[in-house]
Amino acid sequence: MQAINHVAGKAIPFGRKNVDTDVIIPAHWLKTVTRDGLGQGAFEAVKKEEGNVFTDERWAGAPILIAGDNFGCGSSREHAAWALLDMGITCVIAPSFSDIFSGNAFKNGILTVALPQAAIDRLMEVAQDQPIDIDLDTQTVTTRFQDRFTFDVDAFRKHCLLNGLDEVGLTMAQGDAISAYETKAREGLPFLANTLSTAA
């Protein structure tokens, strides 16, 4: 998982409320056996709307998505996070998120930032033609106009995101402790050690 500390650049001013995971990535895209290419299906129905922000070149390649309240509601499909990553999105800002979506986003290295609606409205305005800056270390969202919004983040999630640690990475980081436990277990259960040795 890619570490996140600082995300800066264009932000897609989507702002729509109650966007469920089927809107983020429709069900017919879930048949794939790889994460690659899911960005093409992201917001498929929205992209068909005239004047939508996802096909507007002004926000091409933007790493930030500004959404409305209750973003990521609906089904628990992890493909929603995969699709956002494949689009190049590494941070989503919204007033609130579905708990399951927020968890899936975190596990895949996407920072979710919850801010009050007034802050969202201001960022939507700024994002029309100016970049936005997000600093996970200081937990702030800033703009060139001296706007400064602070956000809360779980300490464990912050540690994992700053260090690029997914579940596999967290396990690997405990390698010494795991080896020590296995050694101690074998010493206390010699018959188990012999069994493991024979199996190997």
What pLDDT band is residue 187 in, cutting at 50, 70 and 90? confident
Q: Taking a C-beta distance cutoff of 8 angstroms, is the pair 193, 186 a contact? A: yes
Percent helix / strand / coil, the chain, rounded to 5: 45, 15, 40
Q: How far apart are CA 66 and CA 78, in angstroms?
A: 20
Q: What are phi and psi of 158, to 5 degrees?
A: -60, -45
What pLDDT band is residue 32 in, cutting at 50, 70 and 90? confident
pLDDT in tens, 79-94: 999 999 999 999 999 9
Q: What are the residues whose beta carbons fall under 8 Å from the beta carbon of 125, sequence distance 6 or more?
A: none
- Residue 71's DSSP bridge partners are 97
Range of weakest confidence among 34-43, 64-73, 156-165, 168-177: 168-177
Percent of the chain clearing pLDDT 90 (strictly above): 78
Mean pLDDT, the chain, whole residue set: 91
Range of weakest confidence among 57-61, 166-170, 179-183, 195-199: 195-199
The predicted structure's pLDDT at residue 35: 86
Between the alpha carbon of residue 57 and those of residues 38, 53, 88, 93, 183, the distances in Å are 19, 8, 14, 20, 58
The predicted structure's pLDDT at residue 167: 67
